[in-house]
Homo-oligomer: A and B are copies of this chain.
Amino acid sequence: MDINGRVKEMDENGIQVQVLSFTSPGCQACTSAAEGEALAREANNWVYEQCKQNPSRFANLGAVCMIRPEEAAKEAKRCFEELNFVGIILNDYQSVSDEEAPDFAEPSEVDGKRLYYDNKSYDVFFKVLEDAGKPFYCHPRLIQGQFFKSRPWLAASVHGFKIQASHHILALITGGLFDRFPKLQMMFGHMGEGITGDLWRIDHRLDRSRFPTLKMDKQKMVRDYFAENIHITTSGHYSTRMLQAAMAELGADRIQFAIDYPYEDDLKNGSDWIDSCPISEPDRVKIARNNAVKLLRLDQAPWNMSLDASRKELEIGGMTSHVWGYGLSQH
């Protein structure tokens, strides 16, 4: 990662802060705990060092290996307290070897044992996040299986990413995570991973009486968690119509502009879109900047950004202060 080149590119595109994270699958593909935990520490330290020279231009999401929840909790805590990271990145499910698989591991038909975070064993981890007031980002991994091997163009960002991620995200919500941690905040990208548009049907069909094992608060709707615990980003989905649909479904306060670098390698493409797409200026400033400042607490040092900038404060010929929400970097 060329940090200086990155700052230059940010300046050219009016991006004030980039949020960096260890890209998919990251630690989630390490099937051994010791290895994964070491990788997380190394990645976190490395990016911390990289950003030292420009601390106010970058914010980081910490990587964690999710095989041992206690260890994940510790590394998250270290990220927040020692490295001033703004949240955690989770690249979908955690793979784990048969040898190290904890008893809550689930068999997968296509790629060995998997760990999903709707299991209560992860409460120790999510408690650290809730207590620190730090969100986590749920990023997709490739979808696996024979069907996609024969049709590889459907396995990744065209289709499979959102499918795999949406399974896990819905498992977290319906598993009661946000009932146990009502202040916890989750982010995910790609304009909602295909879930946002189906909220009505999800709530309409989630028949409490048919599913006694459903863990989610039976008085709540999935929609309620989107109003209190969830933020989506535009990463890699610069569709004005779908941004408008997401705004209609969720309101403008829980949508954040993001690029999806390096999957989207042209900052200008995304930046130009958010600067010019036909949404109202007050909503544009929220989505392109203010919402992220609030959630990630970029009003604190070293960023010291204003919490409620208006379009006028930002503008000298176009929006000049994006928070590039969750451009994912790889090193």
**Central interface residue in A223, A282, A311, by most chain B CB within 10 Å:** A282
Whether the pair A197, B200 counts as a contact (CB closer than 8 A) is no
A52 an interface residue at 8 Å Cβ cutoff? no
A295 an interface residue at 8 Å Cβ cutoff? no
**Chain B residues closer than 8 Å to A118, beta-carbon distance:** 151
Instruction: For A240, give the chain B residue with the smallest CB separation.
Output: B278
Interface of A is mostly: helix
Whether the pair B106, A147 counts as a contact (CB closer than 8 A) is yes
Whether the pair A241, B250 counts as a contact (CB closer than 8 A) is no
- Within 8 Å by CB of A146, from B107, B146, B239, lies B107
Given contacts A166-B159, A213-B152, A280-B250, whether A200 and B237 have CB atoms under 8 Å apart is yes
Question: How close is A289's CB to chain B, nearest CB, in angstroms?
Answer: 14
Whether the pair B154, A174 counts as a contact (CB closer than 8 A) is yes
For the complex, what is the distance from the CA of A197 to the CA of B209, rounded to whole Å? 30
For the complex, what is the distance from the CA of A211 to the CA of B241, rounded to whole Å? 28
Instruction: For A254, give the chain B residue with the smallest CB separation.
Output: B282
For the complex, what is the distance from the CA of A218 to the CA of B269, rounded to whole Å? 23
A251 an interface residue at 8 Å Cβ cutoff? yes
**Central interface residue in A106, A214, A223, A245, by most chain B CB within 10 Å:** A245
**Chain B residues closer than 8 Å to A190, beta-carbon distance:** 201
Instruction: For A280, give the chain B residue with the smallest CB separation.
Output: B251
Copies of chain A in the complex: 4
- Within 8 Å by CB of A201, from B191, B199, B211, B311, lies B191
**Chain B residues closer than 8 Å to A314, beta-carbon distance:** none
For the complex, what is the distance from the CA of A89 to the CA of B198, rounded to whole Å? 24
A277 an interface residue at 8 Å Cβ cutoff? yes
Whether the pair A214, B282 counts as a contact (CB closer than 8 A) is no
Instruction: For A198, give the chain B residue with the smallest CB separation.
Output: B194
**Chain B residues closer than 8 Å to A210, beta-carbon distance:** 153
**Chain B residues closer than 8 Å to A170, beta-carbon distance:** 154, 158-159
**Chain B residues closer than 8 Å to A153, beta-carbon distance:** 174, 206-207, 210-211, 213-214
Instruction: For A206, give the chain B residue with the smallest CB separation.
Output: B158
A236 an interface residue at 8 Å Cβ cutoff? yes
A242 an interface residue at 8 Å Cβ cutoff? yes
Chain A to chain B contacts (Cβ below 8 Å), 25 pairs: A106-B147, A151-B174, A152-B211, A152-B213, A154-B167, A154-B171, A159-B167, A163-B163, A163-B167, A191-B197, A198-B237, A200-B242, A201-B237, A204-B238, A227-B281, A227-B310, A228-B310, A240-B240, A240-B278, A241-B248, A244-B248, A245-B245, A250-B282, A251-B282, A254-B282
